[in-house]
Copies of this chain bind each other. A is one copy, B any other.
Amino acid sequence: MAMKRIGSQTVKMSNPPSIIGTASVVGPKEGDGPLKNYFDIILEDDLWGQESFEKSESKIQEEAIKLAITNANLSPKDIEYLFSGDLLNQIISSSYTARQLEIPYFGLYGACSTMAESLSLGAMIVDGGFADKVVCATSSHFSSAERQFRFPLEYGNQRKFSSQWTVTGAGATVLSSTGNGPYITYITTGKILDLGIKDVNNMGGAMAPAAIDTISQHFKDTGYTPDDYDLIITGDLGLVGKKILLDLMKKEGFDLTNNYSDCGIKIFDRAEQDTHAGGSGCGCAAVVFNGYIYKEMIKGNLDRVLLVATGALHSPIITLQGESIPGIAHAVTIDNLVV
């Protein structure tokens, strides 16, 4: 067993990569929400001058990556690898962004777990000595996602109360082999779990078992307890998933009541914004992490965070064939100080 492995699903960085720049770009609805002061760019309309929602999503991701690189005082040619993915078929938002940037590119698909998947791979590649500077990114768009996964918006379909609202937004993180933090210190990689949920309007329920599995394993592998974290935050379990997670984590022996939250709950004002169970999508964890969490860490208001981005690997074609929706969750520890 290699020495960086500290448990069945966790590795500890030997030279923790530093976050040296981030950026977040969000749509108008996200920019109206409780986290509005944390985002770098808030769009006035969600097409952003493009002809389609898909092209708009690409532009959002491209601008987020460019801004993160600028915020790190670098230019795209300084970046050795780009790790990115998104929800659209053939991850077109990411591929067309990578075409514009001309950075060696690893395309990922982890559904809404992509922010943590990209940070995991990016951090290991830097820690392993293969690169000095990488970018990890993802995006989602309410309108491109709705028409791909559920119904075209023009149908005016009524939303269930367990549904979530796909975030329009993109986030990008520049990781470096040197820097002053925050640092990525531990990575716990998820397995796919599927407890048989087939309701495409209850993604939180589909993803919660995977989040519980990954968080529990993270504590077992690292020896950390919930109290060692200032914040443990899942990507987009929403209200339904949050309740399941808190209940079942307690049964596993971990009380997360005091320091647990979910990016999908934090990003919208439920009473004012009519988003039912909360936000979702790759962009949800991406903008909350690269906006809110990163900036609170820089200010010193949060010192150690466990980001657990959660993905529902929902596929319209295979759901129509009677299959249930598998979930996955990847966890990344971000530390202001390296211990």
Contacts and interface: CB of A to CB of B under 8 A. Distances in A.
A71 interface: no
Interface stretch (A29-37, A109-117, A198-206, A292-300): A109-117
Nearest to A313: B95
A192 interface: yes
A326 interface: yes
A15 to B, nearest CB: 10
A274 to B, nearest CB: 28
A81 to B, nearest CB: 7
A5 to B, nearest CB: 7
Interface in A95-150: 95-96, 98-99, 102-111, 117, 120-121, 124-125, 127-132, 148
Nearest to A52: B321
A95 B192 contact: yes
B131 A129 contact: no
A318 interface: yes
Contacts of A1: 132
A256 interface: no
B92 A313 contact: yes
A247 interface: no
Contacts of A99: 192-194, 326
Given A96-B323, A99-B194, A117 B127 contact: no
A271 interface: no
B189 A105 contact: yes
A92 B315 contact: yes
B107 A117 contact: yes
A102 B80 CA distance: 32
B318 A54 contact: yes
A291 interface: no
A85 B107 CA distance: 10
Given A9-B104, A95-B192, A313-B95, A124 B128 contact: yes
A216 to B, nearest CB: 14
A270 interface: no
Nearest to A110: B107
Contact of A130 (B5, B52, B85, B106): B5
A193 B4 CA distance: 36
Contacts of A110: 106-107
A164 interface: no
A96 B317 contact: no
A106 B81 contact: no
Given A89-B315, A95-B326, 8 more contacts: A88-B315, A89-B89, A96-B323, A98-B191, A105-B190, A105-B191, A125-B128, A148-B317
Interface of A: 1-5, 9, 11, 14, 51-52, 54-55, 80-81, 85, 88-92, 95-96, 98-99, 102-111, 117, 120-121, 124-125, 127-132, 148, 177, 189-194, 313-318, 321, 323, 326, 328
- Top 6 A-B pairs ranked by shortest CB distance? A128-B128, A104-B189, A90-B315, A99-B192, A109-B109, A2-B129
